[in-house]
Amino acid sequence: MKKLPFLIALILVTSFTTSYAQRIDLINLYKTHKLITYPNYNISVLNEGDKHGLSQNDIIWLKDFSFSTGSIELDMRGKNVFQQSFLGIAFHGIDTITYDAIYFRPFNFQSPDALRKKHTVQYISQPDYPWERLRNEYPLVYENAVNPFPEATDWFHARIVVEKDSIKVYVNHSAKASLKVKKLNSRTNGLLGLWNFGLDGNFANLVIKKD
């Protein structure tokens, strides 16, 4: 078999390794009505330097988009208001009642309380495994401290790796996972969306890589 010329081989390898990465233009999806939203949701366009996305609350699903395994990367920013700022990513969703999510509590990022700092990144599997049940029955198994700790009101980068049976979370490009957990249900795919509870959260630069 003849060897491919170097340039052609390089193009083929590059195409193969990047073909599954998809940069999601949240602003365009919002403007073209390709997000599943509800009338009482607060949504606004966000453009701050290199941060292009949305400010929103509750759950906003990407319309006609299914996610199984791979990685989800994005920039997020919450608020330093105790028990009022929670934001992250929902996936393997059926609706706003049944889904998995990884979310953050920014108001705990710089807390002087050591235990509160361990409550900064959380996995939940709704409706059977909300955070209250997980914390009571499996303390510090499905939530952990982030590494490194951002400032509470700063933008931070998250990479969520969803595998068949497990989930890993990395913050601010750290090589060390802030959270590693086993999935708590048998769903293998479903809706993907921005997850927020309480005060509005900021979401930008969403990139999805499907396995």
Q: Report the pLDDT averaged over residues 142-152.
A: 96
User: How confident is the prediction for the chain on average, in pLDDT?
Assistant: 91
Confidence label for 38 from pLDDT (cuts 50, 70 and 90) = confident
Give per-residue pLDDT as tens, 47-94: 999 999 999 999 999 999 999 999 999 999 999 999 999 999 999 999
What residue segments make up the domains of the chain, in order of their start?
Answer: 21-210
Q: Of 65, 53, 61, give the one whose Cα is nearest residue 37.
A: 61
pLDDT beyond 90 at 170 = yes
pTM as predicted? 0.89
How many angstroms separate the Cα of 49 from the Cα of each of 26, 27, 127, 208?
16, 15, 38, 21
Q: Tell me, what's the pLDDT at 3?
A: 46
Confidence label for 194 from pLDDT (cuts 50, 70 and 90) = very high
Higher per-residue pLDDT: 183 or 6: 183
Give per-residue pLDDT as tens, 102-114: 999 999 999 999 9
Q: Tell me, what's the pLDDT at 40?
A: 80
pLDDT beyond 50 at 6 = no
Q: Tell me, what's the pLDDT at 115?
A: 96
Q: So what's the architecture of 21-210 in CATH? A: Sandwich (2.60)
First CA to last CA across the chain, in angstroms?
Answer: 30
What's the CA gap between 6 and 150, in Å, rounded? 43
pLDDT beyond 60 at 43 = yes
Quickly count: other Cβ atoms within 10 Å of residue 163's Cβ: 13
Quickly count: other Cβ atoms within 10 Å of residue 34's Cβ: 14
Q: Tell me, what's the pLDDT at 11?
A: 35
Confidence label for 120 from pLDDT (cuts 50, 70 and 90) = very high
What is the percent of the chain with per-residue pLDDT over 70, rounded to a whole number? 91
